[in-house]
Chains A and B, each alone.
Chain A
Amino acid sequence: MNDTHLKAKKPTAAKSLPAFGLQITELQVLRGMSLVINGLSHHQQAGDIYCLTGPNGAGKSTLLRTIANRLPIADGNIFCPVPIIYVGHNDGLSGSISGRENLKGWAKINGFPYPSAAIDKALASFDATGFANINVRLLSRGQRRRLALTRLALAPANSLWLLDEPNASLDQLSNATLDAVVIAHATLGGMVLAATHLDFTANASPKFIALPGRQE
């Protein structure tokens, strides 16, 4: 359907094109019969933090999932030359195994380094070391969220982070940690696109994209 939609497979491409990050042109996405995203264009460069805002059903999650290549594009195109890290509504953790095992498996299937020291450091960054060896099914919503966010600490510096309500169900301290991690990522040349209803990285004055409500 769309030949120009390239998946982020080659991080090396980013080095030759430092100015280009995520480019969305005239994007249209259908859910069922209704056009949820209609003609959205968005250009984002390395170091940018963007917040998606809009009422429920405006298409925030749909946009993030489309960029993550999980939903088909009806028209327009998305170009992203860097690896994409997606933290969605579902945490991507199996309840039957521990957070550490989940995280290690995730690093392995992505080809990221997975020595114990790297995993430990990532867990420590979200203060998740204390419950990392317990089966995920026994953890609280916020603890799972923190384990899911721990992936961000294992991701390459130039990656694009797609965060779907990342701070929902986080406590205040973890919220501050998340803000710090996101701002550090942007400072090092990464990109962040987050859908949120809450305050997010207010200190770094993120830019906003307002999605209109659903059109009939």
Chain B
Amino acid sequence: MIPFFAQIERDLLIAWENRQDLAVMLIFFVIIISLFPLAIGSNVAILDPLAVPIIWIAALLSILAGFDRLFAQDVSDGWLDQVSLSKLGLGWYALAKAISHWLSAGLPLLIMTPIMAVMLNISVSQIPQLMVALLFGSMGLTLLGVIGAALAEGARRGAALMALLILPLAIPLLIFGTLASQSETGIISPHLMLLGAVFLVLLTIAPLVAAIALETGETETGL
């Protein structure tokens, strides 16, 4: 397990050195959320039911916006060459990337969410279930992003391609996530269980898909 944690440690160190990227993402999140009321108008009857979906869409866009450079830096530095020769293996490498990316982007976003929820007049009693749903949702989106970043690696216009690949796949997360956040049955709702199931499926397949994509993608991008 030492190689696996070493990769996470390395990514977190790099993320900390580039912490302005995190600030950009969080500000992006806040701005998207504050644009909706401006566009829709101040009618509370319309805004109230939209509050949770707004947070979800803002979270989706902010998380995916940070993904286009996930593997690109490691490829151009030559770190991926070192990883593929090491004991780590590309699958574990992809999983380590997902975990460190979630810790450095998903988690701060999650911490920011209650403030945004209060700003959108979501009732305090509803915030815990929104947070739990968004916890699984953000982890699932991170895994989807890892797949997308690996597939788009080396492609021209990788970021746009990645959005095209990933946004349709994010639909189940978005549907179950918004339903679980607003469920009448409390935190542990059927929707949350389905959301958790989607997350678990992604957890098993994302590292494998990313590993295959990174291995074959190298054929045209290398020296």
Contact = CB atoms under 8 A, between A and B. Distances in A.
A202 interface: no
A106 B219 CA distance: 23
Given A97-B14, A111-B3, A70 B77 contact: no
Contacts of B78: 88-93
A86 B85 CA distance: 8
A105 B77 contact: no
Contacts of B77: 90-95
Interface in A29-84: 32, 61-62, 65, 68-72, 84
Contacts of A95: 77
Given A93-B77, A94-B73, A111-B2, A69 B84 contact: yes
Contact of B18 (A84, A91, A92, A96): A96
B87 A70 contact: no
A90 B78 CA distance: 5
A70 B17 contact: no
A32 B13 CA distance: 37
A111 B88 CA distance: 9
A71 B83 contact: no
Interface stretch (B4-12, B52-60, B153-161): B4-12
A187 interface: no
Given A92-B78, A106-B82, A97 B219 contact: no
| Residue in B9, B79, B81, B85 with the greatest tally of chain A CB atoms within 10 Å | B85
Contacts of A105: 6-7, 9-10
B222 interface: yes
B218 interface: yes
Contact of B88 (A69, A84, A104, A109): A109
B218 A92 contact: no
A12 interface: no
B81 A88 contact: yes
26 contacts: A62-B223, A65-B222, A68-B85, A69-B84, A71-B222, A86-B81, A86-B82, A88-B78, A90-B77, A90-B78, A92-B79, A93-B78, A94-B10, A94-B79, A95-B77, A97-B17, A101-B13, A104-B6, A105-B7, A108-B6, A109-B6, A109-B87, A110-B85, A111-B2, A111-B86, A135-B17
Kindly list the 8 A-B residue pairs having the minimum CB-CB distance in the complex, ordered from nearest. A90-B78, A108-B6, A92-B78, A96-B17, A105-B10, A109-B3, A109-B86, A92-B82
Interface of A: 8-9, 32, 61-62, 65, 68-72, 84-86, 88-97, 101-102, 104-106, 108-111, 135
